[in-house]
A and B are shown apart, each in its own frame.
Chain A
Amino acid sequence: MDWINAIIQGVLLGGLYALFAAGLSLMFGVMRFVNIAHGDFIVMGAYGALLVVSLTGIHPLWTLVLVVPGMAALGYLGQRLLLNRTLGDDILPPLLVTFGFSIIIQNVLLELFSADSQKLQAGWIETASIPLAGGLSVGVMPLLIFASALAVIAGLQAFFYRTALGRVLRATSDDADTVRLMGADNANVFAIATAIASAVVGIAGVYLAIRTNFDPAVGPARLLYAFEAVIIGGLGNLWGTLAGGIILGVSQAIGAQIDPGYQILAGHLAFLIVLVLRPQGLFPKMKG
C-alpha cells in the first residue's frame, strides 16, 4: 500500500514538474531558445506571490490573478526589448545572456528578500485531503496543482491547434523565416511565445511558493527538473512534457520509498536511462 501511495504522490508531484517544464518546452519549440534563467524566473514568480501576500494579505492562491499577468507582461517586454536581439543562427548568445540573467535575478532576490527560506501559508487547503479506498488519501493541494497542470497543457494545446495565432506559433517553430511571408512579425510572435511561457512560469512560481520552501538560490534545481521533464517527454510535445514530469515525479517517489536519501538521485537516474535508451525522448514531436 505504501508503494501505491508513493506512486500516486509521485504522479501528483509530476504535475508541478510539468508546470516547471511547459514554459521551457514552449520557448524552445517556437524559437529554439534555451532559457538558462527559466528556474530563476519560476523563483521570481514565487517571490512575486510573496510580495503580493505581504502587501495585501490575500490568500496565496489569489496572487495568481496578479502574478500570472505580471509575469506575462515581463516576458513579453523582456523578449521584445532584449532577448530578440540575441536570436540568430548562433545558439550561444541566448545561452550566455540568460545565464547572466540567472545570476542577476538570484542576486537581486538575495538583496531584496535575504537568503532566508520562505514559504507561503495557504491555510486549510494545505492539509486537507481526500480519502481513497484502502486507507489511501490524496492531498487537495497536490491534486489542485496536478489539475492545473492538466488544464494548462490542454489549454495550450487547444490554443496551438485551434487558433490562428497558435498556427502561426507552430509554423514559426517549423520555419521562422517563411512565416514572415504570411504577414507575421517574428519579433512580435517570439514575444507572444515568451509571454505565454512566462504566464505558465507565474503559475508554477505561485505553486512552488505554496508547496515548498524556497530561497533565491533554488532556481537552478527547478531548471534541472524542467529540462529533465522536457527531454524525457520529447522536445516540442507538451503532453510528452506532462508525461516526462510524471515519470520524474514517480521515479523520485519510488526512490524516496526505498530510502529518503535516494529521492533526487532516482529522478536523475530515470532521466539518464531515458537519455541513454531513447535520446529523442519518449514522445518526440510528430512530423506531418
Chain B
Amino acid sequence: MAEPILTTTGLTAFYGDFQALFGIDFEIHAGETVAIIGSNGAGKSTFLRAITGMLKTPGQNIRFLGRDVGDAPAHDLVRAGLAMVPEGRKLFPSLTVEENLLIGGYGRSGTDWTLEAIYDLFPILAERRRHGGTALSGGQQQMVAIGRALMSNPKLLLCDEISLGLAPIVIKDIYAAVPKIKAHGATIVVVEQDVNQAMAVADRVYCFQEGRVSLTGRPGELTRAQISAAYFGLEDGEAA
C-alpha cells in the first residue's frame, strides 16, 4: 500500500503542564474516511488541533503528504492541503455567507472547489449568500463551515463534531454531503461523539480514551461490547 497521507507516531500534546495526548499512533490513507470517537475530554479535538498546527507540537512526529509537519504553523498546513471544520463552526460574524466561503479559499491550492460547487452541494446557501454568516440556523452554519473548509481544496478534511447540537434530520442532510465530498477526491477524518453516525460513515474507526487510542478497527469487525469498553473505559463484558 502507498504511504498514508497522514501519520502520527507517538504524538503527545500539552496544554501548559497538562498532558492531553499520550503517544497517539494514527494513520489515514488517501480516499479513506476515518472516524475518531470518544467521550468528552478523550483528546479528540486536541488531536485535530495538534495535527493542524493550531496547538504547538514542537519536534513531534507528524507526517503529512510525505513531509514532516510537527513544527509547521497552521497557515502553512492549509496551503499544503489540510483543512479543518472547527468545533463550534467558528464562522466570521462580520462576513456574509459568501464572504465566509470566499475566505476559505484564501490560501487555496488548486481550483477543484468553487463557489458554484459549494452551492451545488448545499443549495440553501446560495439563497442565503448575502446573509450574515451567524444569522443562519445551526445546520446552515455548519454547511457554511464545511463549505469554507472545502474552498481551500483540501486533500485531507478534518471535521470536528459537525453533528453536535443539531437535529437528527439536519445531521442526515450534512452527512449526505460526505460521499459527494469524497467524490471530489478528499480524504476525511470525522470526530464524532455519536457512535452510530461514525460507524455509518467511516471505513475505519479510532476510539480515544483519556488521551490514548483505546481501540481501532473497521466498523463491521468491531462488536458493541468492544466499542463500549473502549469508549467508556469499561472492562470487556461489563458493558453488556
Contact = CB atoms under 8 A, between A and B. Distances in A.
A183 B107 contact: yes
A185 B73 contact: yes
B132 A288 contact: yes
A132 interface: no
B78 A183 contact: yes
B132 A180 contact: no
Contact of B93 (A174, A182, A183, A185): A174
A4 interface: no
B107 A167 contact: no
Nearest to A178: B90
B84 A181 contact: yes
Contacts of A73: none
Chain A facing B: main interface SS: helix
Given A182-B103, A183-B107, A184-B106, A288 B93 contact: yes
Interface residues of A, number: 21
B43 interface: no
B75 A288 contact: no
Contacts of B219: none
Given A167-B103, A288-B96, A181 B133 contact: no
Nearest to A173: B94
Interface string A174-211: 11011111111110000000000000000000000000
B54 A182 contact: no
A140 interface: no
Interface residues of B, number: 32
Given A168-B106, A288-B135, A180 B93 contact: no
A183 B152 contact: yes
B48 to A, nearest CB: 11
A182 to B, nearest CB: 5
Interface string B66-101: 000000011100110001101000101111100100
A168 B78 CA distance: 15
Nearest to B133: A288
Given A167-B99, A168-B106, A288-B133, A181 B92 contact: no
A287 B75 contact: no
Contacts of A184: 75, 106-107
Interface string B148-170: 11001000000000000000000
Interface of B: 52-54, 73-75, 78-79, 83-84, 86, 90, 92-96, 99, 102-104, 106-108, 131-135, 148-149, 152
Nearest 10 A-B pairs (CB), nearest first? A183-B107, A288-B132, A183-B78, A180-B74, A171-B92, A178-B90, A174-B92, A185-B75, A182-B106, A288-B93
Given A181-B78, A183-B152, A287-B132, 17 more contacts: A164-B102, A167-B95, A167-B102, A173-B94, A174-B93, A175-B90, A178-B86, A178-B92, A181-B54, A181-B74, A181-B83, A182-B104, A182-B106, A184-B75, A285-B94, A288-B131, A288-B135
19 contacts: A167-B99, A167-B102, A167-B103, A167-B106, A170-B94, A171-B94, A171-B95, A171-B103, A173-B94, A174-B94, A175-B92, A179-B103, A180-B73, A182-B75, A186-B75, A288-B94, A288-B95, A288-B131, A288-B134
